[in-house]
Structure 1
Amino acid sequence: MAPFFLLFGLVTLAPIGYAAWLSLFHEERSGLGFGGARQVFSGIGNYTKALSDPLFLASFRHVALYCLLYIPVMVGGALVLALLLDSALARARRFFQIAFYLPHAVPGLTAAMIWLYLYTPGLSPVLDVLDSAGITWNFFGRDEALLSVVNISAWQWMGYNMIIFFAGLQAVPRETLEAARMDGAGAVRIAFQVKVPSIRPTLVLTVLFTCVGAVQLFDAPQLLQLRATEMGESWSPTMYVFSAAFKGHDYGLAAASALLLALVAGAASYVVTKQGNRWRSA
């Protein structure tokens, strides 16, 4: 186990420790800014600066709204697709598994670029179809931008989680399903009262990973804000950290913000795990 702990210390613990140390300092320049920069100890100053910044707080509100929309759509859609593939009437299972999984094989930034093209007026065949039907929609609008981000993420991750759910459904004892059919249960009742409760641990784990991933949302909004300018460069917490570090060159603030983000992700993981354990034991 020594190689694991060595790598874990180098790539996980050491960066966290360095970020914690970096978050306690800020840079000051002498004169009119032409002099050299020096590190000045600020204690929790960077943390209070982040927590008092309206942009940082607003980024968490954006992600909270994103989670309220994205998690039910993605998890629910993946579960329904898995149940359909696991049904007795399903045909060409292997083909549809590959077809649904393919979007996940596309890198996140590439997926965002594809949808940016599909969202752009004058280029998008989607908008052409909507216009021909008399529907006006601005994917880069102030309110619509959130739905655009949700769509990109759901398109990319629904097939991946569908495969996980389908694997869990394949492990449900066939004897249990046959017993339910003999008792008169229909296909829908078997799906939601027999199959879904049987894969509760898989559902809880998927929701947990989805919550952690949602808090770290970056690729889609970072690229989308190039056209949806009202989103701003700090729309999500990770975008705020990126902007503070590489545009504002305030590495102390970026480190403090990143650690606060990690605390929020850890708290969300704890809540989801506790609620999931209660649901599994119910």
Structure 2
Amino acid sequence: MTASSHRRPDTTRSAPFFFLLPATLLFILFLALPIGYAVWLSFHKVHVHGLGLGTHARSEVWAGLANYADALTDRELLHGAMRVVGYGCIVVPVMLGLALLLAMMLDTERVRLAPFTRLAIFLPYAIPGVVAALLWGFLYLPDVSPFYYVLEKLNLPQPDLLDGGPLYLALSNIAVWGGTGFNMIVIYTSLQAIPAEVYEAAKLDGATPLQIALRIKIPMVAPSLVLTFFFSIIATLQVFSEPTTLKPLTNSVSTTWSPLMKVYRDAFGSGDLYAAAAEAVLIAIATLLLSFGVLRTASRRNRQEPTP
């Protein structure tokens, strides 16, 4: 055997690592390092000497868990978290319910123009969140909205969707309008993967279309429902662009309406990067724990399926 033949196995074994190297470098530079730097900032604070004047009047010192203690007792952050919970209680069930309903309707044999319908439902997801929020924001304004013009001509009540309780519905409508199409595609893809023999066997047993939908389709797309529920929870906890975009249009949206808006204000409005880093870390931990709980619950239910 030649020397070149001995080198080939080593090259083959190391080839996967060379393919993974670009992705690994990007992960380290743009994800791991920023996360590590944010964690490092969360354990520090600025100490002011004297009047805070001069070159060395401010120094960075170790703060321990002080920033986390302040964040956990911050009423604005807690109130923002409660608002996001109420927002999520509207968005997640409505969005996933509509996505499941639309996916099952498109999966029927009687539907016409299915490709065009799927594209029309999915299209709002392709619109950036800021653009969608601006679009709906102007539709919510009584002075420029065509809906309010029609309501005025019909002598119907004109609710203010940007004030008080209706604000939750207005924000939820933007999220549902934009996210239903993506979730529908995920569920519809799972429905298309169900073998046709399963439906034929159910029809031979006398199952109605409603029974097929409830007892066959929904249970078989349960993993997709868990996946979309998982993504929806993460998106809900990270809501930022919709209330931030609507803020100039109404006084009901404060700079701390959501936890991420609070982080943004502390970091770039107040200039307290250390408190903002601690708040961001707490939001990340809450998202991780909640996501882990959802996946753990779903896996337990799959293991506890009844045996025939």
Q: Shift of residue 147 of structure 1?
A: 1.0
CA RMSD, aligned part only? 1.5
Paired residue secondary structure (2:187): helix
Contact 1:79 1:162 survives alignment (8 Å): yes
Give the one of 64, 72, 82 matched to 1:51: 72
> Which TM-score applies when normalising by structure 2?
0.88
Paired residue secondary structure (1:27): strand
Q: Note if 1:218 corresponds to 2:264.
A: no
Runs of 5+ in structure 2 lacking a partner? Answer: 1-19
Q: Which moved more, 1:205-214 or 1:223-232?
A: 223-232
Give the one of 39, 46, 49 matched to 1:20: 39
In the alignment, which residue of structure 2 is the partner of 1:190? 212
Q: Note if 1:92 corresponds to 2:113.
A: yes
Paired residue secondary structure (2:248): coil
Contact 1:102 1:159 survives alignment (8 Å): yes
Q: Shift of residue 27 of structure 1?
A: 2.2
Q: Shift of residue 182 of structure 1?
A: 1.6
In the alignment, which residue of structure 1 is the partner of 2:191? 169
Give the one of 9, 14, 26 matched to 2:28: 9
1: CA distance, partners of 2:52 / 2:170 = 41
> Which TM-score applies when normalising by structure 1?
0.95
Q: Note if 1:106 corresponds to 2:112.
A: no
Contact 1:81 1:162 survives alignment (8 Å): yes
Change (3 A) 1:279 1:124: farther
Using the aligned pairs only, state the percent identity.
37
Change (3 A) 1:27 1:136: same
Deviation track 1:95-144 (CA, whole Å, cap 9, x = no partner) reads 10110111011011111100111111111112223342512211111111
Counterparts of residues 127-206 of structure 1 (less than 5 Å): 127-131=148-152, 132=154, 134-206=156-228
The structure whose Rg is larger is: 2
Paired residue secondary structure (2:244): helix
Contact 1:112 1:220 survives alignment (8 Å): yes
In the alignment, which residue of structure 2 is the partner of 1:234? 256
Q: Which amino acid aligns with 1:102?
A: L
Give the one of 29, 46, 60 matched to 1:39: 60
2: CA distance, partners of 1:129 / 1:159 = 28
Which ranges of 4 or more aligned residues in structure 1 deviate by more than 6 Å? none
Deviation track 1:236-270 (CA, whole Å, cap 9, x = no partner) reads 11111101101010000000000000000001101
2: CA distance, partners of 1:199 / 1:35 = 64
Give the one of 275, 279, 291 matched to 1:269: 291
Q: Shift of residue 26 of structure 1?
A: 1.8
Q: Which amino acid aligns with 2:68?
A: Y
Give the one of 77, 81, 92 matched to 1:71: 92
Paired residue secondary structure (2:225): helix
Q: Which amino acid aligns with 2:252?
A: E
- State the aligned residue count: 282
Contact 1:117 1:123 survives alignment (8 Å): yes
Give the one of 105, 123, 140 matched to 2:144: 123
1: CA distance, partners of 2:63 / 2:32 = 23
Q: Which amino acid aligns with 2:24?
A: F
Q: Note if 1:207 corresponds to 2:226.
A: no
1: CA distance, partners of 2:85 / 2:167 = 15
1: CA distance, partners of 2:73 / 2:251 = 23
